[in-house]
Structure 1
Amino acid sequence: MAPIILRNIYTIVPSEPTWAGCFPLAEWDLVGTITHVPTVYFYNKPSELFQGNVVETLRNSLSRALFHFYPMAGRLKWLPRGRLELDCNAEGVSFMEAESEAKLSDFNDFSPTPEFEKLVPQVNYKHPIETIPLFLAQVTRFKCGGISLGVSISHAVVDGQSAFHFLSEWGRIARGEPLETTPFLDRKILWTGKPLPPFASPPQCERKGFEQPPLLIGETDNVEERKKKTTVEILKLSKTLIEKLRSRVNTSEYADPARGFTRYKTVAGHVWRCASKARGHSPEQPTSLGICVDTRSRVQPPLPRGYFGNATINAVARSTSGELISNGLGFAAEKISEAIKSVTNEYVMTGIEYLKNHEDLKTFQDIHALGSTDGPFYGNPNLGLVSWLTLPMYGLDFGWGKEVHMGPCTHDGDGGSLLLPDKNDDGSLILATCLQVAHMEAFKKHLYEDI
C-alpha cells in the first residue's frame, strides 16, 4: 500500500469546562484488556450534498462530544497494588490528519493486515500511562476521495457497548442532532449493594473465572506457545451455514425445545470444536473458552441506560478436547450456555469483592504482558471468543454517509477471536480469528466442512 503521510496532529479538548477531579475506576475497568482497542471505518468520497470540511467537522464535533463524555478527555494514573484511577483533567484526545496515494479498492475485501495499523493511531505503552490519551483518532484521505477513520479507545475506560455509544453520539453531534442517550458517568453504582465476604480460599475464586487457563499437557508454562507465529483470518459464515449448525444443535439431546441455542452459542461451540481438532489435541487435553458477558441487565438493580464504563465479565466454559469432539456440537453449546447462565448478580458481586481483596491486579492486566511471555493468555489449548453481535457497530455517519466497511484491525493473540454480524444484515456472520500459522488451514477446513 502507498505510504501514509501524516499532515497534522491536534489535541481536542471538551468544548466547555467540565467536572475536574480524580475517581477510582470500578473493578471491572482494571482487569483483562486495559490497553487500547483499534477499529477502522472506511467511507466513500463525500457527496456534493456534504458542504463542510471533513477534518473541521470531525474536530469540532469531537470537542462537543467530549463535553458530554468528559472522562474520555482525561488520563489514567497508577495507584498502588495494580490499581488505576481516572483523572478527569480535560487534557484532551489526539486527532491526526493524514493522506495516502492509495485507493479504497486497494484494500480488496478489507481483511485486516499489517497495513491497517497505519490507518489507526498507534499507542506506545513504554511512555508513562499518565501521558497517553484515552482516545486517539486518525482520518486518512485517499487518492480516490475516499476516507478512513481509525480509532483507538482505552479498554480501561470503556467496554464495547460504551465505546460504540460514544462513537454513535459523536456522529449525531456532527450531523447537528441532539444526543440520543446521555451517558451515565457515575461508576460508584457498581460499588453499591451489600458487600459479600472475602474469599476464604483459592478454590472459591476458581469458580469465578479468575484462574489461569489450562496448559498443554506436559507443559509447566505457556512460554513456548507464545513464541509461535500466528496469523489472522476474516472468515464469513453464510446464513445457510449458520442455519445448518443451528438445526443440528437444536435437535440435539442438549437443546431446550422451548428456546434452543443462540447463534453465538452455536457458532462458539463449533469454533471451539474445530480449534481442538486443528490443534491435534489428545482426548484428555483440558481446554477452556473465554466468553465476554455483558452484566448490565444481570446485576440487581440493572445498570442505568447509558452506563459508561466497563460492565463485561469473563465467564469460562471448560471441557476436554475428547469430550468436545466425541459428544458433538450440542455438548459444546451446552457447556457455553452453562457458563453464561452462571453470570448472576451474585457472581458479579462476588467477583468484585474478590478483586477488591486481591493484593495486586497486575496479574489480570494485559498491559504488563506486551512483548513478553507473562500475564493473561488464552492461546493453545484455549480460546477467547468475543461477540459483537448485539453492539451498535454499523452506520456511523458524520454527515457524508455511512461507512462502506468497518471492522477490527489486526487481532493479536493465539486463540483470540471476534464474532461480528455481516454489514449487509443478510443473516451471515463474520469470524475474525487469530491462530498459530501451523493450525489455521486445518481450522478453516474443519470450520466449513464439519457441518
Structure 2
Amino acid sequence: MANEEKEKIKGGEVKVHSVLTVVSSTPVNPGKTCPLSAIDRAMGHHSLHVIFYFRSGSVGFDRIRPVLNEVLTLYPNVIGRLVKEDDGSWIVRCTDAGLRVHRATVGTSVDEWLRFASADDERDLMVKQEFPHDPQYWSPFRMQVTEFEGGGTAISLSCPHMLADPISLTLFIKSWTEACHNDVIVHPPFLHPQAINIPLTFTTPFPTSTSPSFYASKSRASNSNPKLKFVSTTFSFSNSIIKQSLSKICSTVPDLTPFDLLTALFWMRIAELKSKTDDNLKQSISICMDMRKHLHAPLPYGYFGNALHFSQLTMNSDKMGSGDLGQVAELVNRHVTGLKEEEFWSAVDWLNSRKDDQGKFLPPFKMYGPELTFVNMESMIAPIRTRVNEFEPLMYRAEFVKDQKPAHVSYHIENTEGEGLILVMPSPEEGLARRVTVTLPEEEMGKLLQDKVILSLDPTMLLSGRS
C-alpha cells in the first residue's frame, strides 16, 4: 500500500491554473517608502518561503480573499516595489501595484502529501522567481494557493529574504486569519526599520565582540562544493519523547530547552557522519536566532523585517566524540542564553560599515553557511494575549476555520550552502514537541535517516519522499 501511495504522490502534479492580483482596499499614500536595515541588506542573497497546510476544505480562497484586501492596507510594503538608491541600498516604494496570487490544484490529499511527498515536490507549492535586473515593476511578494484533492489547502508566501524573516511572514498569514473572524490582530505590523539602529547608550566598536570577525569570515567564504545535491527531511518529535529526553539530562542544567537538546543531538550525529571523511580538530556550527525579545528595548513581534543574528559555537572534537548529549546540550544552552546584546549591535555596526571607496554598500554574501547552521525558532512560541502565563506557537494559531489549526507549517530558505541547514521549530502538538527540518548532502541524509540514536526517539518523517 505504501508503495502505491508513493506512486500516487509522484504522479500528483501541481498545476497552476491562474494568476491574479490582490490589491489593498485603501489606496496607499503617495510617496510612502520603507527603507531596509543593515540586517535586511545582509540577507540579500537568500529568498524565504513559508507554506501553511490546512486539512479543512472549507478554507476556500474565494471566501477569504475579500479579507486579504483589507489586511493588505496594514502591509503597504507587501504590495510595494523595490527601488535601489544611489548608495546601493534598497527601499520599498509603497504603491497600489498589489500582491500576485497563483492558484493551483494537486491530485492528492494533504495527509498523503505530507507523508510521501519530498521537499523537492513541496517547492511546487510555492512561487520561485529569480531576482530581476530591474525590479521596480516586479512583485517581490508572491502567494500560491493550492487546493488538494478531497479538501485541504496549502497557502504559501514567498519573498526575498531581505524583506522579511520567518516571524514576519508567519504573522502576515496569522493577521489574515484573525481578520477573517473579525478578531483583534494580536501582533499588527511594525514597519519601522530604523528600530534596528545602534542605541546611543552603546559605544562602538565593541572591543570584545566576536561578531565582526565571524561575519567577515562569512563574507570571504567560497562555495564549498556546488555539485553536491542537497535534500531535506522534516523530523517530528512528540511532546512526551522530548520531555523524557530532557528529564534524563536536566540534573545539572534544569532550564535546557528542546532547541538545546535537538541541536546537540543533530550536531553530534552529523559530526559522527562527517568524522569518517573530515579530520578537522574542531567542530563549529552557526546558530541563527531572532533577537526581537533579546534586546534591552525589545522589538514587538510585529516588527516586519529581519531581526536575526548569527553566532558561532565551537567544540573540540574530543568532547564531541565523547557521546555525552547532556554536555553538548549544556554548551548550546550557555551559548544561547549568554548571547549579549552588544554582539547584535556590533554585527549591525559592521554591516553598516561595508562600503566601497565611493561610499556604496558592498554586495551581500551568504549568511547561512558555510558551517552547519541551526535556526532557533523558539521565539515563535509567544504569550497568549488573554493568558500571559501561557504560550502558543504563532504559526499554529493561524486558523482560517475556528479550532482547525494548520496540519503543518514549512519554511524554506533558498540559496544556502556549506555543510547544511537545520530549522528547529514548534509542532502543532504544542508543549515541548518540535519539528526539525534538516537539509544535508544527499549521501549524508541517507545515513542520518538510518541513525539509531535519532530513530530511538521515534520521530515521524514528513516530506522526505521515503516510505
User: So what's the TM-score if we normalise by structure 1?
Assistant: 0.82
Distance in 1, matches of 2:338 and 2:212, equals: 10
**Paired residue for 1:125, among 131, 136, 145?**
131
**Aligned equivalent of 1:64, options 67, 70, 79:** 70
Residue of structure 2 equivalent to 1:272: 267
Hey, what does 1:230 align to over in structure 2? 230
Q: Is the 8 A contact 1:208 1:347 kept in 2?
A: no
1:242 matched to 2:233: no
State the partner residue of 1:22. 33
The amino acid across from 1:443 in the alignment is L
Q: Of residues 296, 299, 308 in structure 1, which corresponds to 2:295?
A: 299
Q: Distance in 2 between matches of 1:200 and 1:294?
A: 21
Match of 1:31 among 32, 42, 53: 42
- How far did 1:178 drift? 3.6
Paired with 1:410 and 1:350, the residues of 2 have a C-alpha distance of 28
Displacement of 1:111? 5.2
AA aligned opposite 2:237: L
1:130 CA drift (Å): 3.1
The one-letter code matched in structure 2 to 1:267 is L
Q: 350-359 vs 408-417, which deviates more?
A: 408-417
Measured in 1, the distance between the counterparts of 2:408 and 2:301 equals: 25
- Quote the residue 2:331 is aligned against: 335
Distance 1:426 1:196, change over 3 A: closer
CA displacement 1:374-399 (0-9 Å, x = unmatched):
xx4525xx311113344211132224
Partner of 1:261: 256
Q: SS state of the match for residue 307, structure 1?
A: coil
Cα shift at 1:14 = 1.6
The change in CA–CA distance for 1:78 and 1:365 in structure 2 (over 3 A counts) is farther
User: What are the superposed Cα offsets for residues 301-321 of structure 1, whole Å, 9 maximum, x if unpaired?
Assistant: 222453222222112212233
CA separation in 2, counterparts of 1:410 and 1:295? 20
Post-superposition shift, 1:197?
5.7
Return the alpha-carbon distance in structure 2 between the equivalents of residues 102 and 149 of structure 1.
16
| Selected match of 2:20 from 10, 19, 23 | 10
After superposition, what is the alpha-carbon deviation per residue over 1:264-298, rounded to whole angstroms, capped at 9, x for unaligned?
11211121111110112556433322222222222
- Contact kept? 2:189, 2:304, Cα under 8 Å: yes
Where do 1:93-132 residues align within 5 Å?
93-109=99-115, 112-132=118-138
2:423 corresponds in structure 1 to: 418
Q: Are the aligned partners of 2:82 and 2:136 in contact in 1 as well (CA < 8 Å)?
A: yes
Q: Which residue of 2 aligns with 1:355?
A: 351
User: What is the CA-CA distance between 1:139 and the residue it aligns to?
Assistant: 1.4
SS at match of 2:196: helix
CA contact (8 A) 1:284 1:322 kept: no
- Matched with 2:5 is none
C-alpha separation between the residues in 2 aligned to 1:325 and 1:173? 51
The gaps in structure 2 that reach 5 residues or longer are: 1-10, 381-393, 458-467
Distance of 1:425 and 1:155 partners within structure 2: 27
Q: Does 1:318 align with 2:309?
A: no
Question: Is the aligned partner of 1:179 residue 2:190?
Answer: no
Q: 1:263 to 1:92 in 2, by over 3 A?
A: same
Question: In structure 2, what is the equivalent of residue 383 of structure 1?
Answer: 372
| Residues 198-230 of structure 1: CA deviation (Å, up to 9, x unaligned) | 5599x965566414369xxxxx97545332122
For structure 1, the residue ranges without an aligned partner over 5 or more in a row are 215-219, 367-375
Aligned 8 A contact 2:49 2:159 in 1: yes
**How far apart are residue 355 of structure 1 and its match?**
1.4
Aligned-partner residue type, residue 302 of structure 2: G
Q: TM-score, normalised by structure 2?
A: 0.80
**Structure-2 separation of matches of 1:236 and 1:18:** 42
Tell me which residue corresponds to 2:217: 212
Asked whether the equivalents of residues 205 and 211 of structure 1 are also in contact (C-alpha less than 8 Å), the reply is: no
Q: Which stretch of the first structure deviates more once superposed, 88-97 or 104-113?
A: 104-113
Distance 1:411 1:328, change over 3 A: same
Following TM superposition, by how much is the alpha carbon of 1:417 offset from its aligned partner in structure 2, in angstroms? Answer: 1.2
CA distance in 2 between counterparts of 1:69 and 1:120 reads 20
Provide closer, same or farther for how the CA distance between residues 295 and 113 of structure 1 changes in structure 2, counting only shifts above 3 A. Answer: closer
Alignment correspondent of 1:371: none
More off after superposition, 355-364 vs 263-272 = 355-364
Q: Does the residue aligned with 1:64 lie in a helix, a strand or coil?
A: helix
Contact 1:235 1:430 in 2 (8 A): yes
Q: How many residues align?
A: 424
Deviation at 1:400, TM superposition (A): 7.2
Question: Which stretch shows the higher mean deviation, 328-337 or 133-142?
Answer: 328-337
Shift of 1:407: 2.6
| Structure 1 pair 320–443 and aligned structure 2 pair: CA distance change class (3 A) | farther
1:397-432 per-position Cα deviation (integer Å, ceiling 9, x unaligned) = 224763552232666644111112221236432211
Partner of 2:389: none
Q: Does the 8 A contact of 2:25 with 2:70 survive in 1?
A: yes
SS at match of 1:423: coil
The one-letter code of the counterpart of 2:68 is: L
1:285 aligns to what? 281
Does the 8 Å CA contact 2:211/2:346 hold for their aligned counterparts?
Answer: no
**How far apart in 2 are the matches of 1:364 and 1:446?**
40
The 1:11/1:262 distance shift into structure 2, 3 A limit, reads same
2:322 alignment partner, SS class? helix
Mapped partners of 1:5, 1:447: distance in 2: 40
Secondary structure of 2:397's aligned partner = coil
- C-alpha distance in 2 between matches for 1:278 and 1:338: 25
Range 76-85 or range 224-233, more displaced: 76-85
Question: Aligned partner of 2:131: which letter?
Answer: Y
**Percentage of identical aligned residues:** 18
- Tell me the equivalent position of 1:143: 149
Maintained 8 Å contact 1:278/1:440: no
